[in-house]
Amino acid sequence: MRDHQDGETSKYVVIFAISAIIIAMVLRSVHGDHDSREPPVVHPRIPLIGHIIGLMTNGAKYWSTLSARYPHPIFTVPMLSSRTYVITSPSLASQAQRASKTLLFNPLIVEVTGRMVGFDNQTMNILRHKSAKEEGRSVLMDEMHEMIYSVLSPTEIKDISVGVLQQLTECINEVTGSIETDLFLWVRSQFTMATTYAIYGPENPFVMNPSLEEPFWDFEEGLIKLIVGIFPSLTARKAYYGRERCIEGMIEYIKNERYRKASKLIQERVQLHSRYNISETQMAKSELGMLFGALVNAGVTTFWVLNNIFSRPELLAMIRDEIEGKAMSISSIDGRETRTISFSALKSTCPLINSVYRETLRLVAPMSSSRLVTVDTMIADRYLLRSNSVVQIAGGVIHEDPSIWGADAADFNPRRFLTSQSGTRTDISDHNESEGGTGATAAEKKQVHPAAFRAFGGGSVFCPGRHFAQVEIISFVAGVVMAFDLAPPMGTRHIWFDPPKDEKRIPIGVMKPVKELQVQIQRRLGMEGMRWVLEL
């Protein structure tokens, strides 16, 4: 994998600075004066564009840098003629989430998605629905939001979950001997094919044209430059042409009605788009955006969970014991010993693997929750948020704050979410860690604020696919943990776990590793001929 390069960073800075000037001038003009009731202002060291440069060069870490210098629960970041309010307190995050009538997500996601996939003006006008509500007409974004949340609710995802588990079962059983690979790329490839098959059906674009997988990830890699939108065919050439190839594949998929064999989610999306007279080409672009949401985080999250487990032998042994004792059954199918792992049992009776999953997300998912302030709004009876400004709930800052999580906030603690999905605060007075880092002997546990865990968003805007993601990630992790050992590559003596993360990338998803993690994946001793089944 490629390391970040200085030349590439410089291109990002120039592109984003120019784009920000244009966007700020065109999209909004904000009051230049600062109201005393607004959050305190953090002025950039370089006037006008300093914060923009900081974000482009430091990515997810920039809000942390500002928060460390100015430890306010909320502060104002001026950018050109606009302003952003950055929230670093869970209690204020909760207050902002309650103001859902005036702090809106949809206006922002419409503009970002339009730049991301290249919608035409007609489609953007339909999505913006400037007069639809006033005229009593239905709104596409509202209907789409309601449909997706319904179809992907815990009670409605059985078919799609069964489908992805069948595909992931095949991925595990295909490895009968030993393979040497970069663990991240191997996991990502398995999830790309399995998830796309489950959602888009057996005639999905990646099945019909397997060569589209690489262009899709080229598109993902250069997404920020596409969103900036300054001559993207030149400034984001690889991502731009990757996107165009994927759109061509989606157009073929829609024109030939291959979605008729897809999940209920995709069939209803096509029907809804058709009802609003979205053309096939623009529909294909929308489905590329949907595919991005389905693929971009699941594989990389799974990689980090596996890294965190296999790098800690004692934790690995404990999780294997938990799965074997509570979530696995043994049978014989066609005379072949078969071990079946139940997701329902994993979810309800295996707290350690679930805690590891959430703790991993806390450390690798620094996403911010964004809202547009549509009307001057007071939160917590103290802070004025002014119209046409943006609110950013800085998930990365909140996730690493010792005052929230305890002195070990920067460390991986597999037991942090053992008794609560919100997490527990750990004040360690007598630290006696085991090899697996599985906790402290003398520790005071305290409930963490429920708005502190930001990996799936919060308030009225939670990730709609979080339940499906839990099914595929935890099930696949359990299957890999039980079926395989990881060994050093041939000719080496060590596995270099914990590769550095791309912390300086603007956070659009879970952080990726910036170096390869080469391993040998091999069947566990005595289980070489075992058949594995992942079931719901």
Count of CB atoms situated within 10 Å of the CB of 314: 14
Burial class of residue 518 in the structure, from the number of CB atoms within 10 Å of its CB (0-12 exposed, 13-18 middle, 19+ buried) = middle
CA-based nearest residue to 140, from 160, 118, 115, 122: 122
Question: For 288-331, what is the HEC assignment?
Answer: HHHHHHHHCCHHHHHHHHHHHHHCCHHHHHHHHHHHHHHCEEEE
Q: Report the distance separating Cα 197 and Cα 201, nearest Å.
A: 5
Contacts of 93 (CB under 8 A, 6+ apart): 87, 369, 393, 398, 451, 452, 454, 458
Q: Report the distance separating Cα 252 and Cα 259, nearest Å.
A: 11
Q: Report the distance separating Cα 57 and Cα 138, nearest Å.
A: 42
Dihedral sign for Cα 268, 273, 279, 284, please: negative
Pairing of strands 518-523, 484-487: antiparallel
CA angle 162, 166, 172 (to 5 degrees): 140
Burial class of residue 230 in the structure, from the number of CB atoms within 10 Å of its CB (0-12 exposed, 13-18 middle, 19+ buried) = middle
Dig out the tokens for 500 from the structure: 């550095």
Q: Report the distance separating Cα 16 and Cα 22, nearest Å.
A: 10
196-223 b/e (C-beta count within 10 Å ≥ 16 → b):
bbbbbbebbbbbebeebbebbbbbbbbb
CA-based nearest residue to 93, from 404, 465, 365, 447: 404
Task: List phi, psi (to 5°) of 178.
Answer: -135, 135
Q: What DSSP line would sit under 146-196, residue for residue?
A: HHHHHHTSTTT-HHHHHHHHHHHHHHHHH--SEEEEEHHHHHHHHHHHHHH
CA-based nearest residue to 527, from 166, 178, 167: 178
What is the four-CA torsion angle of 115, 119, 123, 125, rounded to 10 degrees? 30
Burial class of residue 295 in the structure, from the number of CB atoms within 10 Å of its CB (0-12 exposed, 13-18 middle, 19+ buried) = buried
Q: What DSSP line would sit under 219-246, residue for residue?
A: HHHTHHHHHH-SSHHHHTHHHHHHHHHH
Residue 430 to residues 98, 434, 444, 447, Cα–Cα distance (Å): 39, 13, 10, 20
Residue 463 is assigned to a ligand binding site: yes
8-state DSSP, 462: E
Binding site as annotated, residues for heme: 463
Binding site as annotated, residues: 463
